[in-house]
Structure 1
Amino acid sequence: MTHDAELYPADRLDRARAAAVAAGYDALLVSPGPDLRYLTGYEALPLERLTCLVLPAEGEAFLVVPRLEKPAAEASPVGGLGIEIAGWAETEDPYALVAGRLARGVGRVAVDDHMWAEKVFGFRAALPGAEQGLAGPLLHGLRMRKSPAEVAALRRAGAAIDRVHTRMADWLRAGRTEREVGRDIAEALLAEGHARVDFVIVASGPNGASPHHEVSDRVIGAGDPVVVDIGGTMPDGYCSDSTRTYAVGAPPADFLEYYAVLLAAQTAQTEAVRPGLTAEALDAVGRDLITAAGYGDRFIHRTGHGIGLETHEEPYIVAGSTRPLEPGMAFSVEPGVYLPGRHGARIEDIVVCTPDGGERLNVTGRELVVL
């Protein structure tokens, strides 16, 4: 857990309160998850017992925690924010505790997007006159514009995942199963500095045509293209995510043909990033090239997703999104081509929009690596 005041500054509570007030909410209720960590630095355990940051439109913020969790909360960055940490005993009703401390006549409350349904219903019973809404639209606007400290954290995560990709020749070879290779990769993610492994995709041969395949007991064969998409969470809470495609020996000719198209498209997209370009326009940069080469119907997902305290968060780089890119926005650029029953390929970098363009946070080579 980090105590870095630059990465988790105290003014986020004021900014979140201002966003809630502007949206007409009387209080913001945030349970354990990425929003709570963003606002306070506290990586609280998601338990059946209620932990909740209460941020009223008027009055002081406070954190409600089970009494047995209070020492952990005090030892976390919350302890340096100067807000009250209110512990509740096993025989108390924490929802009633929150309701009793909020101003009478609370009309609208925003709950975080990841709040468990049982807790949403607990607050609904304790605040029967309050309309509930999602806090995501308020907090996304804060979270998707990364500070310099957050960009530095993502840069460290990118370097860690790059180090894993540079070691792929140690593990990826014919005769091994995807699961065996995946196990080695997971160990390397931790060895290279991640606190947690979030996902490991080792998709060989026909499995490469399934973008979220993960691993199986399939034995990797000579000539197989293999999509390796991996990511984890660093000790400071920020995530990595990068995809490279490898070939175990000489791959099929048709694979080489579309891999060249994919590489040109992904390179064009990363070079196109700049403030003011819309998300859908960035998606179109690569999609148009892939479509012109005859593979448009084989690129079956959006170009990318934002990244930060979650692997997938705003902004999403997808057709239909007119959101303009802004400095500080960090997102994946990961076009893919997939031939069902045969093979597939994807290239993914995390890119940060800067005032004068974009910065790739994954800097390993994007050309096909033949092992």
Structure 2
Amino acid sequence: MLAARTHHEVDSRAGDDRTGLNGMIEDVRAGMAEAGADALVLRPSPDFRYLGGRGGGYLVLTPDGPLSTVDAPAEAAALIPSSARRVAVDPEMRASELFALRLDTELMLASAVLAPLRLRKRPEEVAAMRRATSAADAVLLSARQLTWFGATERAMAFRLRAMLAETGCEDVISLVVAAGEHTAVAAHTPCERVINPGDALLVSVCGRWDGYCTEVARVFAVAEPPDDFEAMYSVVLSAQHAALEAVRPGVPASEPARIAGEVIDGSGYGHYAAGRQARGIGLSPDEGPRPVPDEVFSPGMTVCLEPAIFLPELFGARVADVVVCGSHGPEPLSLSSPSLHVMDR
């Protein structure tokens, strides 16, 4: 827990020991030494949250001093050793804050130090993401009981947003309700389109609980699915299953996306596949591991698998699930089935 508005050390999170925040601080110091950073200054951001930050203020870490929290940039600057030659600052630091620090040193992004450490989630981080996914699951399961026929996309999005708030969601990052032809739009914003029988529905909730992000996307149909929809959707599910099996230690992080794309290409829908089939997720909705050849999965890494096919002006389908790379293979956090659910009118 952060010290209360002082320059004192942030000892630890409640219940943490050497393997918790204190151990993490030593890892950060090692990263600072490797990067040649003489101090680290963070404002409220995912990196700030990673080191136990809550609320506002600034966190300061030096090679020898305690992890401290202060109210103002000038106070942060006062904690930086006068001999410092290179300071790592938060990627979300505002220009006004940088000027207020009045640093006569070389600046670098703190993400160069923290991003590699954030790749592998600690058990307590995975537990937080599991709780977040459980809350998102609960909203989408409850959504099946709502009356969709005759409602508008915007009205249903409003109801889902209220349901998310009831679960303790602290930040709704994105909420998609798309009906009919709108399911074929990759970044659709809910509008006044009325939902009717025979419509496919794409519903996605992406939010943050206790600092950690999750996303669950599911596909429904009202009364009955459109013609040819189920055949297309079966390809999306096959792509997701194939991608899931690739989330294993030692496998390139690019493999899930590549394999999902290969399944979709082989079905004949390759021209209509989404541009992105997977991404890293954690304290940010889009972070490492990146689907690039030189990034390799190791236990504790978390990804959102999101295969999708969009047929312009007809319909589309996208499934999103967060998966942990476990020691022996993939560990999906969502317990809800991605199978097509047909709702009564």
TM-score by length of 1: 0.83
Partner of residue 85, structure 1 = none
State how 1:1-371 maps to structure 2 within 5 Å: 4-6=14-16, 9-40=21-52, 42-45=53-56, 51-66=57-72, 94-95=73-74, 97-123=75-101, 126-128=102-104, 130-171=105-146, 173-234=148-209, 236-316=210-290, 318=291, 320-371=292-343
Where does residue 86 of structure 1 map in the other structure?
none
**Structure 1 pair 121/298, CA: closer, same or farther in 2 (3 Å)?**
farther
Asked if structure 2 preserves the Cα contact closer than 8 Å seen for 1:17 and 1:28, the reply is: no
> Closer, same or farther in 2 for the Cα pair 1:342/1:118, shift >3 Å?
farther
Deviation digits for residues 309-340 of structure 1 (CA, Å, limit 9, x no counterpart):
22222113x3x443101100111111100112
- 3-state SS in 1 of match to 2:175: strand
**Secondary structure in 2 matching 1:19:** helix
Decide whether the 8 Å contact of 1:225 with 1:343 is kept in 2.
yes
Report Cα offsets for 1:62-120 as digits up to 9, x if no partner. Answer: 22215xxxxxxxxxxxxxxxxxxxxxxxxxxx43x444442224221111122223213
Q: Is residue 147–residue 328 contact of structure 1 (8 Å, CA) maintained in 2? A: yes
Separation of aligned partners in 2, 1:230 and 1:117: 32
User: Do the aligned partners of 1:30 and 1:112 also contact (CA within 8 Å) in 2?
Assistant: yes
CA distance in 1 between counterparts of 2:145 and 2:155 reads 12
Quote the Cα distance in structure 2 between the aligned partners of 1:114 and 1:15.
22
TM-score (norm 2): 0.89
The 1:206–1:122 alpha-carbon spacing in structure 2 relative to 1, beyond 3 Å, is: farther
- Using the alignment, how far apart are the partners of 1:246 and 1:269 within structure 2? 22
Shift of residue 8, structure 1, vs aligned partner: 6.0
C-alpha separation between the residues in 1 aligned to 2:157 and 2:63?
Answer: 48
Task: Give the Cα–Cα distance (whole angstroms) in 1 for the partners of residues 333 and 113 of structure 2.
Answer: 27
Matched residue, 1:72: none
C-alpha distance in 2, partners of 1:351/1:174?
A: 33
CA contact (8 A) 1:172 1:248 kept: no
* 1:83 corresponding residue in structure 2: none
1:220, distance to aligned residue in structure 2 (A): 1.3
Report how far residue 150 of structure 1 moved: 1.3
Deviation, 1:30, is 0.7
Post-superposition shift, 1:368?
A: 0.9
> Are the equivalent residues in 2 in contact too, given 1:33–1:43 (CA < 8 A)?
no
2:242/2:256 contact within 8 Å kept: no
SS, match of residue 48 in structure 2: helix
Tell me the alpha carbon deviations over residues 236-257 of structure 1, each in whole angstroms, 9 at most, x when there is no partner: 3222210001111222223222
How far, CA to CA, are the matches of 1:4 and 1:188 in structure 2?
29
Structure 2, unpaired ranges of 5+: 3-12
CA distance in 2, matches of 1:155, 1:272: 20
CA displacement, residues 153-198 of structure 1 (integer Å, 9 cap, x when unaligned): 1111111111111112222522110111111111211223433433
Alpha-carbon distance in 2 for matches of 1:265, 1:307: 19
AA at the equivalent of 1:103: P
Q: Does structure 1 conserve the Cα–Cα contact (< 8 Å) formed by 2:261 and 2:270? A: yes
**Structure 1: runs of 5 or more not aligned:** 46-50, 67-93
TM-superposed deviation, 1:149: 1.3
Between the aligned partners of 1:61 and 1:194, the Cα distance in structure 2 is 28
Cα RMSD, aligned residues only: 2.1
Deviations, residues 1-32 of structure 1 (Å, cap 9, x unaligned):
99543496233222212111111111111111
Q: Between the two proteins, what is the percent identity of the paired residues?
A: 37
SS at match of 1:166: helix
Deviates more, 1:220-229 or 1:52-61: 52-61
> Bigger shift: 348-357 or 11-20?
11-20
Counterpart amino acid of 2:193? R
Using the TM superposition, give the Cα deviation of residue 214 of structure 1 relative to its aligned residue in structure 2, in angstroms: 3.2
Q: How many residues in Structure 1 have an aligned counterpart in Structure 2?
A: 331
- Which AA in structure 2 matches 1:293? S
